[in-house]
Structure 1
Amino acid sequence: MSSQTGIKVSPALAGVWQQVTAPGSKVRAVKISILKETLEEDGLFDIKGTFEEDFRIVHDNLKDDVPAYFMVRFDGSKSDQWIFLAYVPDIAHIRQKMIYAATRATLTKDLGDSHFTDSIYGTNKGDFTLEGYKRHRASMTAPKPFTDRERQLQEIHANEKSMIENMKGGTHRVSHAPGMNFPLTDRAVAALKKLVVAAPSPAKALPKKVTSPASTPLPVSPVISRESTVVVPEKSASAENVEDDEWDDDKTKEAKAEEDAAPVEDVKGIEPEEEIPVEAAKPERTVNFVKLVIDAESEKIDLAGEAKIAAKDLVKNIDEDSPRFTFFAYEHTHNGTAHDSLVFMYTCPSKSKIRERMLYSSCRAGVLQAATDNAGLSVDKKLETTDVSDLTEQFVLEELHPKTSHSSFGGSSARSAVSGPPRFNKPARPGARKVM
């Protein structure tokens, strides 16, 4: 503003200001006016009582149609701090009003902005009484006027700030998800645990009998007919004994060689029986649909409903006018393979209240983390929509098993030769469903 008026603090005023701000000074207030295009000291007023008692000095030394500046010193520990007052009456001359309004920033800057902790700009002498000063302080500390939506946003931010400050004091945080983390109620946790199918009992093994080499039957010897026999000359008894001994020795050597080559067996030469596992029956799930709601009063996530339904009945069981968190265990078969998928659905209808939409959006990540920590759930797919009618069985299947395009022989060049340049899909409509 100094570049607009060119009015500066005079050396005399600078010296006076240095004296009144020195330690031990007894000056309560300083009046400053613009005289001959220069900022000059126009009156010094000593301390006579408390700050509130001496504040009347300002009102008593102002004229109805003459602008002026006042600096007033505070009491006690704030005795080195001042309040800057700029009085520019509406009935003053236009030139004076423009000059005083444009020069006040230059005045505080030249004297030192650090000295002034508060300021008042007024056009009426009534603004510079003790009651006027109290109204000014009340307006500074009063809450700002907000619309309902702005007030709701402020409450949400305040809740988030308090939760973060509370978590800072602990040595352990259960959830590290961003946003608001409301705890789950006991019955909500119990319902979520029903979605977890217990692991089947260990398979019972049936023994499979395996015969040992010792018990293997010998092959049947061939039948020799009488016609095929050949008469062999009889041998003497001594010759037969010699041949029998040689035969026994050879047989003993062969048996010993077979024992050395054979693998080590169990006791009595019998191998252990091989066990054949038998698959146990999978336990049946009693609940596959759990719906959660936020209880704003208690600041907890509560159970809104649980059931065992078919995928085609999802739309019927989810609220259409309020946001909800839904967990659905979908047992189905795709391309001949059985699947058991856990789907998390966050529904936020457009016609629901703004406060509800903001609250549920802030708690979404916290609910997923709490379901993992408290109920041991592992979500396979996350869906979000503003229209509950989107959650059809066909849509859920397409999201769980998206179709993949298989290129023909020849790669991308062959595909482009047949189908031409790629086509771009139109953007989704506002508020449409989306996959997280």
Structure 2
Amino acid sequence: MSHQTGIKANEKLSKIFGKSKNGKIRVIKVSIENEELTCSGTTEVKKDWERDYDKLITPLLDENVPCYILYRLDTKTSMGHAWLLLSWVPDAASIRQKMVYASTKATLKTEFGSAHITEEIHCTSADEATLDGYNRHKKAFATPAPLTSREEELAELRKAEVKTDVNTDTRHQTLGGISCPLSDATIDAIKDLVKGSYDYLQFRIDLDEECIHVSHAAVVPLLELPKHIPEDHARYHLYMFKHTHEGDYQEAFVFIYSMPGYSCSVRERMMYSSCKAPFLDHLNSLGVDVVKRLEIDSGTELTEDFLQDELHPKKILHRPAFAKPKGPPNRGAKRLTRPQEES
């Protein structure tokens, strides 16, 4: 179920989107005004993208009012120049503004052309919107390249040979599972989710560090949610399911543990299984009230009907009465038996 706001780009902005593909425009500022996506300013390319970044973006940001910034990078894809989408949602903005901008981002990407947007960043403070903030974001959300089977085996051997000591920095193992620490970026992303900046987070366990990292954070329509479930690695997912039930609008955090089966190593399967319960405790301590916990093999299972049935199981109001089976036909009259007298 898509939960966009219905706000669309006005005619002027649509024309600017079309012209921007010629490579001359560096920045497009987009605001929501009068229930429309509106262009609040454009700037042409001055120098290279890194030198233009702070000079062109910072003056466009209002400390109290959200906006979107589309920033043209110097790299190219098969579609043309690559673009960065910066969502500016300051902490001082109202809850309504935060929700409207979060819900409209998917529409903005569609109207501009999702294929042109290769990177996204969500900023709530001025330092996050700088070039240094962008580089910190890239570093925090970077995902290492997957290892081959042979590399995983060698890594396991090295860990078995070297990591034999136990100290206060090693992971804490209890009967409830293995408690892996959360990276700072992961904790920040969860807090942003609670604030309404995102509705979807994906988490991965770094098997070498034995630490949980956030690998993806976004506003994701339900129809696109299956595309975010990896087919070759286990992951944890946290999704804000926005829906209606019996005429009432409801929002519920759903925790999803995806395990694609034997395409994952034995250690990966064991780590994700063992870390799940302590990780849920972490989420609860950070203010996430998980209403439903799910385990899936594939993202294709995540449909609206499936989530509705899991959160609101259908009740059987008229349970059929038990029908006593009929006896064999033509068995004759019932025989009466007398209890035997004690001798």
Normalized against structure 2, the TM-score is what? 0.44
Larger radius of gyration: 1
Normalized against structure 1, the TM-score is what? 0.35
